[in-house]
Amino acid sequence: MQHTKAGSCESLLPSSIYDSLEKDRTIRLLTLTSGSGDAAHACTLETVLLDDCPPYDALSYVWGNATEREPLLCSSKLCSGSRLMITQNLYSVLLQFSHDGRTDHLWVDAVCINQEDLGERSQQVSFMGDIYARARCTLVWLGPPSDYDYQACEVAEWLVNAARPFSEVEETSACLLLNLSAIGVGLVESGSLEKYDTDKTKLIQLGQLLTRPWFQRVWIIQEVAKAKEVKMLHGNRSISFRTFFMAIQILVDSGLGVFCGIDTDMHAAHRSAFDNVAWLAIIQQRIAMKRKDALFRLINVARSFESTDPRDKSYGLLGMASSSDTLKMEPNYSQAPYELFRDVAITDVIHHRQLRMLSSASYRDSCRSSYDLPS
């Protein structure tokens, strides 16, 4: 294709903006350069060594519907502009960041990795845990507020502060509460709920956040567990992961839901998502204590999490697994899913000399027909 002007590659394929990442542990960082109002975003890409790079924030989000896309005008040292089509959900994140002035040095997988290059995808995924671990902060995008949850962050912060006189936090954790029943009783007997004018609707708003798709992604385990700091972004509002998780614990397991008459609604609709968040906190705690689990255990824990690519059910957990499980296992997106599943099972049997993998097997005709698996 011809260039529209010297130094421009707007009409070229998106891959034209990506230089080769020849050195080990090299990444790209993006900086937003425009985005006023509802105008299309623009950004520049910079290639840096992970171990010697400027401070940056890493984004944790849901890609969203792949068929609904918006243009992002990208520039790099190879060309002055190329239109990269990104999902609407990512577009909304970057638009919010532009409005908030959060434009400098971001790591966003869909843009910073050449998604058309399977070799680069595999190489970047192999140390993605380190990318999140070295980030200044992991920014979790839950999406813009809806009519059903616009007060959720406010309710979460109030709930944690109100529960503080009755709270007891586990010594080895920053957010696991021990005496949840006492917290529920304390909030009711102290009259705190009435003082705040807390009603069923406000508490349900907090629970509604758990219905966001982000809580079901398998990649969030690594993105949160390895982060130095995690902020949950809900439109232009933010809350720390620690505060959010403590508030959810109180709402779901302190008996407060029963008292306010929302227990049935909460447990039916959000229990699975709450369990996922609880596992995030536990794995985060184990990593902070420098403990690593067998890949098999992590896969078992993450069974309820989802991924668009079935291989990510394993690759998304490699950065947290013990070295004996990952020594000979590198992400390879040219490998068929059934081959990966077979290799994971064989590796676990050889290194741990157990057949525990079979205890988690389930018979599903759909899985056998999709991946040509023996059992």
- Contacts for 371 with CB less than 8 Å, ≥ 6 apart: 310, 336, 337, 338, 341
Whether 174 shows a pLDDT value over 70: the answer reads no
Tokens coding 162: 């109100």
- Type of residue at 200: K
- Phi and psi for 332 in degrees, rounded to 5? -150, 100
- Residue boundaries of the structural domains of the chain: 14-143, 152-288, 308-371
High-pLDDT (> 90) share of the chain, %: 31
- Type of residue at 42: A
Q: Give 56's Cβ-side CA count (13 Å radius).
A: 28
Tokens coding 300: 């078992």
Q: Where are the beta strands (DSSP E) in the chain?
A: 26-34, 41-49, 57-60, 69-76, 79-87, 106-107, 137-143, 230-234, 237-240
What pLDDT does 117 receive? 92
What is the Cα–Cα distance from 281 to 49, expressed in whole angstroms? 30
- Type of residue at 64: G
Query: 282-322 pLDDT, tens per residue?
Result: 888 888 778 888 888 888 888 889 998 999 999 999 888 87
Whether 373 shows a pLDDT value over 70: the answer reads no
Mean pLDDT of 104-126: 94
**Residue 125 contacts residue 314 (beta carbons within 8 Å):** no
Question: How would residue 128 be classed by pLDDT, with cut points 50, 70 and 90?
Answer: very high
Helices vs strands, H then E, count in the chain: 17, 9
Least trusted range by pLDDT, from 108-112, 209-213, 237-241, 322-326: 322-326
Q: Name the nearest CA neighbour of 74 among 66, 65, 82.
A: 82
Predicted TM-score (pTM) of the model is 0.85
Q: Name the nearest CA neighbour of 66 among 91, 42, 31.
A: 91
Is the model more confident about 187 or about 367? 187
- Phi and psi for 8 in degrees, rounded to 5? -105, 145
What pLDDT does 82 receive? 82
**Residue 92 contacts residue 143 (beta carbons within 8 Å):** yes
What is the Cα–Cα distance from 24 to 277, expressed in whole angstroms? 33
- Phi and psi for 46 in degrees, rounded to 5? -125, 130
- Which residue, chain included where needed, has tokens 């991946």? 371
CA torsion, ordered 236, 241, 243, 246, to nearest 10 deg: 140
High-pLDDT (> 70) share of the chain, %: 78
What pLDDT does 51 receive? 94
Least trusted range by pLDDT, from 166-175, 220-229, 351-360: 166-175
Dihedral of alpha carbons 205, 214, 231, 235, sign: negative
Q: Average pLDDT, whole number, for the chain?
A: 80
